[in-house]
Amino acid sequence: MAASSPKTLIDFFQQPSKRLKVTSSTSSLTATATATAMATNATSSDLSAAQRGRIELNKLLAKSKRNLKICSERVTLSKGIPSPSLEELLVEETWLEALPDGELRKPYALSLCEFLRAEIGSSPAAVYPPPQLIFNALNRTPFDRVKAVILGQDPYHGPGQAMGLSFSVPHGIKLPSSLANIFKELQQDVGCPIPSHGNLEKWAVQGVLLLNAVLTVRSHQANSHAKKGWEQFTDAVIKTISEKKKGALFSDEPDIAEDGSSTHRLAAIVGAGA
């Protein structure tokens, strides 16, 4: 795919300005004054829109940090228990309202919770991500803001990699090949610059649900928590979005690599940078 589009999304979506037709010296002065005023107003409007965007993003980031703080406090308060119940770790109100009533109290979820407690209790460092980040995808992306869903398989199973967001890694962690492929396609299709890191928290708060099919994994053992109940829960999440959020983009890393329309829609949501 050729990178024929501009370097930033601002250039990508900006319409070319129309030239004013000048018929006399007087009209030329009038046209110049009008054009100057229009340019000034446009610049002011653009700045205001950018400022509003930054303010909104900061509010969303603050809310997601609040959710993380609540989860961390609940993990700390669990004391002797290896982990709080799964129900206590999903704190984003919009998801609690949108998901089927009592989803995390169903038999499969209770069985999954007991399995995780046994896994975490055997060695606190053996399960990724840590308990407070298990529902990070839902706690960072409110249901009412979901515009796209990028589906992964299960969390990264190396130390310090998994952060509860599919494909995302914390600052300072080497970019995984799967995420590098997503960045590459965004650059080729839309002209987005490739970020210097793989932390996708800002994508999450802007409406990109970074959801793995399985939300936990044993250290260095891919798919070790598959078929323990997570698939039933994430199926409920996907079904809820499909039924209540018309027009949401569903994709995975291979889809993004093959479908240019996916990269354009994703870029329109997250902007030019990560």
Mean pLDDT (whole number) for 224-228: 96
Q: Residue 12 domain-assigned?
A: no
Q: Name the band, by pLDDT with cuts 50, 70 and 90, for residue 252.
A: confident
Among 41-45, 183-187, 203-207, the least confident range? 41-45
Q: Cα–Cα distance between 67 and 43 in angstroms, integer?
A: 36
Mean pLDDT (whole number) for 17-30: 40
Give residue-wise pLDDT tens across range 61-86: 999 999 999 999 999 888 767 778 99
Q: Residue 3 domain-assigned?
A: no
Give the residue, 75 or 190, on which the prediction is more confident: 75
Q: Residue 11 domain-assigned?
A: no
Q: Cα–Cα distance between 10 and 17 in angstroms, integer?
A: 14
Q: Residue 87 domain-assigned?
A: yes
8 Å CB contact between 127 and 119? yes
Number of domain units in the chain: 1
Give residue-wise pLDDT tens across range 36-65: 445 445 444 566 787 888 898 899 999 999
Q: Residue 116 domain-assigned?
A: yes
pTM: 0.76
Give the residue, 42 or 209, on which the prediction is more confident: 209
Mean pLDDT (whole number) for 185-191: 83
- For residue 155, is the peptide bond before it cis, meaning its omega torsion is within 30 degrees of 0? no
- Percentage, residues of the chain above pLDDT 70: 74
Q: Residue 16 domain-assigned?
A: no
Q: Cα–Cα distance between 15 and 34 in angstroms, integer?
A: 19
Q: Residue 130 domain-assigned?
A: yes
Q: Cα–Cα distance between 71 and 77 in angstroms, integer?
A: 10
Query: Is residue 10 pLDDT above 50, yes or no?
Result: no
Query: Is residue 20 pLDDT above 60, yes or no?
Result: no
Residue 34's CATH number: 3.40.470.10
What is the residue-averaged pLDDT of the chain? 81
Q: Name the band, by pLDDT with cuts 50, 70 and 90, for residue 262.
A: low
154 is catalytic: yes
Mean pLDDT (whole number) for 101-107: 96
Mean pLDDT (whole number) for 249-265: 62
Range of the domain at 146: 26-270
Give the residue, 266 or 242, on which the prediction is more confident: 242
The single residue of 46, 101, 154, 259 carrying the catalytic annotation is 154
Q: Cα–Cα distance between 160 and 120 in angstroms, integer?
A: 16
Q: Residue 10 domain-assigned?
A: no
- For residue 129, is the peptide bond before it cis, meaning its omega torsion is within 30 degrees of 0? yes
The pLDDT value given to residue 246: 85
Give residue-wise pLDDT tens across range 108-145: 999 999 999 999 888 766 899 999 999 999 999 999 99
